[in-house]
A and B are shown apart, each in its own frame.
Chain A
Amino acid sequence: MDILEAKNIVKSFPGVKALSGVDFSVRPGEVHALMGENGAGKSTLVKIITGVYRQDDGEIFFNGRSINPGSTREAEACGISTVYQEVNLLPEMSVAENICLGRQPKLFGLIHWSAVRKRAVAALKRLELDLDVSRNLAYYSIAVQQLIAIARALDIDCKLLILDEPTSSLDAKEVDELFTVLGKLRAQGMAIIFITHFLDQVYQISDRITILRDGSKVGTFETSTLARLEMVGKMIGKDPEQVRDMDKKRKLRTSAGRDFLRAEHTGRTGMLFPMDLNIRAGEIIGLAGLLGSGRSETARMLFGVDPPDSGKLIIDGKETVNSSPGKAVSHGIALTAEDRTATGIIPDLTIRENIVLALQARAGILKTYTIKEQHALADTFIKALGIKTPDADQLTKHLSGGNQQKVLLARWLAMNPKLFMLDEPTRGIDVGAKAEIEKVMAELCDKGMAMLFISSEMEEVTRTCDRVVVLRDRRKIGEIAGEQISIQSIMNMIAE
């Protein structure tokens, strides 16, 4: 007996048919993974189930009853709770307030604070968390915040829990903790829809897998019977042979040029301990380390977002100060930062305007590019990077995450940088787009661009980089080069 059954769901957005007749069902007591490339329609489907969007056609049955939620609140009233990719709670309010927000127990029409706290503690207990619920949410790590978000979702009497990329900001240990909790909930008969890009995790936790591609359902499979390579093939619509080719190890580059950037004892008080670092033209440097080891901070320091306050920075043989991103850009340095919604995409501008932005920022206010030049530029990159859009004048917010990431890449490639720093460029992106981005990186590097690559996925680092700088606790602890690079050697260095 299915607890949720969606039949023939259709949804269109301006210019895009997001879902064309998708059937989807979930049983109680199972973890059901929803898989697909960016733009395959996963988020849209979830948003229809949770009442954020309304379907153009089709019907949803929950517990055997037809439902048509018009808001997340209505969906919650039915018993459907969602935890989104970004923790969207209120950091400056207490844990208890966050858990009970919008449904606080009342006493004589006023908020019954002690009941609020009691209820929050009880909700956290279900996840075996013992926290001080009167502390501000921001006090706790992202991982704990994620668990608090789940506690909030469980606080209502929910029968279906939807987790949209809950693990993208967690490290391995935290993921295990989360999975223990999910396992318990499953045993209690909870139905869980789990969306992620981490294939390992899908195989670790899920019972069944539904795969979407281009707004249509490819199929629903028992996890135990679906081989990994087969699944990837179904997601991207290619056969396993091609996938294996994509995964093949890249040949080592031998011809790195001279130093483009050299940091000598460069650091920033309270953020990064002084470090020496050199990046040569035509090589990819990887930054490896655990979450919070100072990887993103290094990129931000070199890019002038948080400029260094000690040591020297030598770019192209000249000592310089990168006091702002504007300065760094004028030196030919580019950075796509970790959080692309906050620090990358300008949602209400068109794709063309987003692409031309960095080039224009470097050129200044007075030197302008004609609309025709801008269009030519945008069209070139839309084609080269395979950005899925009808034309360059679409608003960027209508694109899926992976395509937004490609727009960001295009923005920086348009100004032809000498050093390109990519911080988690593949986070929240599907296998196909990931391979494309890695391919683009390798090509650029072969043309003599210097690159700095940050990723939480060690396979990616070992696969793409010529040299890996290992960080621990905001300190550079060593470098591994060439043949020596392996997950084992990096782990050893971090652990030693």
Chain B
Amino acid sequence: MIGNMEKQNTIFKDNLFTRLFWPLMALGLLLVFNLICTQGFFHIEVRDGHFYGTLLDILNHGSKVMVLAIGMTLVIATKGVDLSVGAVMAVAGAVAALLVGQVEHGWIFCDGFTLGGLVPLLNAHQLSWFLPVIAALLVSLVAGFWNALLVAGFRIQPIVATLVLMVAGRGIAQLITDGQIITFTNTGLVYLGNGYFLRVPVSVWIAMGVFTVVAILVRKTALGLFIESVGNNETASFYAGIHSKTIKGLTYVICGLCAGVAGLIASSNIKCADSNNAGLYLELDAILAVVIGGTSLNGGRFFLAGSIAGAILIQTLTTTMYARDVSPHVAAVPKALVIIMVCLMQSETFRNRAAGIFKRSRKRAWSL
């Protein structure tokens, strides 16, 4: 039997390249289109000591969806989905904005002494934004735990379970900010979404950092294998001795934390916490980025790099619309068209059909 097996299968294997091919192809085409049609799209200059240009804008503005998509990838790989990330962003932003204001007003007395030996290395200014950031991340971690509890602990369907926080989250954010839009001027917090490090926007560094940390976490430990295994066949994974509940729950916790990071960037971008609009509909962009990136909503194999590519593609589309002066009201239509194309090209059934039609029409042309 072994003898007559042909080794033709390497291209059929699930590898990163085949998964990444179509999103990267679309991105490439989009960039070529801009190269020809949009003036100055590729122009990068050094202004005020940092890089400046449309391409950097894409990365900068895309960073939130990138960070969300990283967490979302893991959740989707377990056959779940997290609809609450947008709302968790709002909560994280609200917590940070509230605390940073209170620290500045001295309502929370905080210096190296009151916090004991915990942060003696930080001066008062660093502390004034460090503390709110940590608090915001802790709160988003709690949100993640809540989702994990509902989905993994009580076996509520992920869509329903995370819908709870999606709806309630904005209410919680409103409670935190007392229904106000809280603005802040703290330079540390503003730096996250507007600053530059080594000439590149800080938010891009943050997205890269989150990607690196999560990639190491899932690929250099067995976590990635367990996530894929649980997503592909939960019962069988349980029978193999994997604590599938823990694995599932962990993905929601990581996803919540990612949402917190994205929330900090978002509120820092606009220097205020807007509970109604922060991260609005971004959960959908994140899910889309994951799917474009080749991770199936059926769970199983996941591709972090693919999700990043998906997020960049979405942002490139949006930016292209702006650059082409397409009215925001109709911008969604061409965006949807491109995305539908990528999704169709990823479908093997569609590719085969399309190839079949192509072949047939060629044959017909031949016979004429």
Contact = CB atoms under 8 A, between A and B. Distances in A.
A79 B65 CA distance: 53
Given A328-B241, A329-B241, A365-B221, A39 B1 contact: yes
Contacts of B2: 388, 390
> Which of A324, A361, A368 has the most chain B CB atoms inside 10 A of its CB?
A361
A12 B9 CA distance: 11
Interface in A320-344: 324-326, 328-330, 335, 337, 342-344
B5 interface: yes
Contacts of A328: 241
Contact of A349 (B5, B222, B229): B229
A20 B4 contact: yes
Contact of B237 (A346, A365, A388): A346
A328 B220 CA distance: 26
Given A15-B6, A17-B4, A365-B222, A342 B236 contact: yes
Interface stretch (A26-34, A93-101, A192-200, A352-360): A352-360
B306 to A, nearest CB: 16
B351 to A, nearest CB: 16
Contact of A343 (B14, B222, B236): B236
B222 A345 contact: no
A342 B235 contact: yes
A33 B267 CA distance: 70
B12 interface: yes
Contacts of A16: 5
Contacts of B107: none
B187 interface: no
B198 interface: no
> Which of A329, A337, A346, A353 has the most chain B CB atoms inside 10 A of its CB?
A346
A13 B300 CA distance: 22
A348 interface: yes
A368 B225 CA distance: 10
A151 B180 CA distance: 66
Contact of A362 (B5, B13, B241): B241
B129 interface: no
B301 A348 contact: yes
A214 interface: yes
A357 B242 contact: yes
A393 B13 CA distance: 8
A367 B222 CA distance: 7
B240 A363 contact: no
A14 interface: yes
Nearest to A415: B241
A347 interface: yes
A362 B222 CA distance: 11
A320 B6 CA distance: 50
B243 A14 contact: no
Given A362-B241, A365-B222, A15 B7 contact: yes
Contact of B232 (A335, A346, A390): A346
B240 A357 contact: yes
B233 interface: yes
A395 interface: yes
Contacts of B239: 303, 305, 325, 335, 337, 343-344
A375 interface: no
Given A326-B242, A361-B240, A348 B222 contact: no
A366 interface: yes
Nearest to A15: B9
B8 interface: yes
B228 A390 contact: no
A14 B8 contact: yes
Given A14-B8, A15-B5, A346-B236, A357 B225 contact: yes
B146 interface: no
A345 B233 contact: yes
Given A39-B1, A347-B232, A349-B232, A390 B7 contact: yes
A394 interface: yes
B5 A368 contact: no
B1 A214 contact: yes
Interface in A117-167: none
B357 to A, nearest CB: 15
B17 interface: no
Contacts of B225: 349, 353, 356-357, 360
14 contacts: A12-B6, A325-B238, A325-B240, A325-B241, A343-B236, A346-B233, A346-B236, A348-B14, A349-B229, A358-B241, A361-B242, A365-B222, A388-B2, A390-B2
Interface of A: 12, 14-17, 20, 39, 214-215, 303, 305, 324-326, 328-330, 335, 337, 342-349, 353, 356-358, 360-368, 388, 390, 393-395, 411
Given A347-B232, A353-B225, A358-B241, 7 more contacts: A15-B8, A342-B233, A342-B235, A343-B239, A346-B240, A368-B222, A390-B9
